[in-house]
Amino acid sequence: METLMTHIYTIPNGHAFYICGDWNSRCSDFSDFIEGVDQLPERNIVDFQHNSYGSVFCDFLIDVNCCILNGRNSLHNDYTFISTRGSSVVDYCVLPYEQLKSFSDFTVHRTTELIKNIGMVDKFDLQHSETTQFAIDDMYDSFVTVMKSEMSQKLPCKTVLYNSNNNKPRRCQKPWWTDNLGTLWNDVCKAEKVWTKCKGNTSKNLRHFYVEKRKLFDKSVQKAKRQYWFSSQEELMNTASNPKEFWRKIGKIGVGNERQNNIPMEVKLSDGSLCNNQNVVIDTWKNSFCDMLNQNHSSISLNSNQVIFDEFLDNVISIDEVYKVLNLSKNGKSPGIDDIQVELFKNNTALNALTRIFNILL
């Protein structure tokens, strides 16, 4: 209420306004003006029940010099909420005292009457769709069950080590880093740890074993680097005909990190010269956006009753559409309620299954 009161106080005196909405207040016969001071016509009351919000709402109206339009200047007042639990008046139209004479009639229309007047069809027969929501849920649950079964049988699982702090995989910021390199590095660390703790005669053999592990790791790192840069070159060559994809890959490998992110404080004048005067730059930007955002749209005719038939939207969902949406989805994000990450949908089998499910739900 305080926020709304602040907005009302910002409206200059004499300016007309009204506020409509569900106030969740049953005002009964509470007075919304100061009797003896303000001269207002009495309201035609149909709901004589009240709640705690009703008195608060009426006090708020007195503070902002506004009144309820429901039941005034008209004898056609009615309930605004009707259900099997009962009827009540909780929706009000509020306006200033001096604007009350501007309204000669106020009528509350029930939804059932509006439906009859506009000729809406209250029943729709949906064809080619599942009859119940339960059938849709069961169908998708079956799809998720099959997917999880395939994952358990064909994808490697993580081995959890109890009473150990080494359950998390090693994360490296290098783009050429692989799981195999992580395993080799763990072997190097274990061999070094065993060698440094040994103080017996086997120390020499353990040192040799550590050196061999380190050499194997270094060779694998160099090989992974060469493979990564070779594959990056191949991708750049393949995307040379697509400038957008080409520069996106350039930015990924770090070449585009040195680009300037700041907008230069200069504009090009009509004579072709560049001006870096701050006042001139600000005025140019202001005039450009003012002309762009204040165009004359009076010639545009809007027909709210027009029914649009779009053959593209009414067609079945194609595999290409689902494929494009999946490609736009980011990898490595948390799964949804089905516990399946988006990476697992990016294959032909899951793509065909999702497309069939979406078309069944149409």
Q: What is the 3-state secondary structure (H, E, C) of 86-112?
A: EEECCEEEEEEHHHHHHCCCCCCCCHH
Question: Which tens digits make up the pLDDT trace of 238-249?
Answer: 888 888 888 887
DSSP states of 151-213: HHHHSPPPPP-TT-S--SPP----TT--HHHHHHHHHHHHHHHHHHH--STTHHHHHHHHHHH
Phi, psi (deg, nearest 5) at residue 270 = -65, -25
DSSP conformation class of 307: P
Listed in sequence order, the residues at least 6 apart from 103 whose beta carbon sits closer than 8 Å to its beta carbon are: 69, 72, 73, 95
Tokens of 310: 């779009």
Q: How many residues are recorded in the chain? A: 362
Give the confidence band of 220 by pLDDT, cuts at 50, 70, 90.
very high
Rounded mean pLDDT of 193-213?
Answer: 87
Listed in sequence order, the residues at least 6 apart from 225 whose beta carbon sits closer than 8 Å to its beta carbon are: 176
Listed in sequence order, the residues at least 6 apart from 26 whose beta carbon sits closer than 8 Å to its beta carbon are: 47, 49, 50, 51, 53, 54, 88, 89, 90
Question: Which tens digits make up the pLDDT trace of 75-106?
Answer: 677 878 887 778 888 889 999 988 888 887 77
> Whole-angstrom Cα distance, residue 76 to residue 23?
20
The residues pairing with 38 across neighbouring beta strands, listed in sequence order, are 35
Residue 9 above 90 pLDDT?
no
pLDDT of residue 223: 92
pTM of the model: 0.34
Residue 182 above 70 pLDDT?
yes
Would strands 91-96 and 66-68 be described as parallel, antiparallel, or unpaired?
Answer: antiparallel
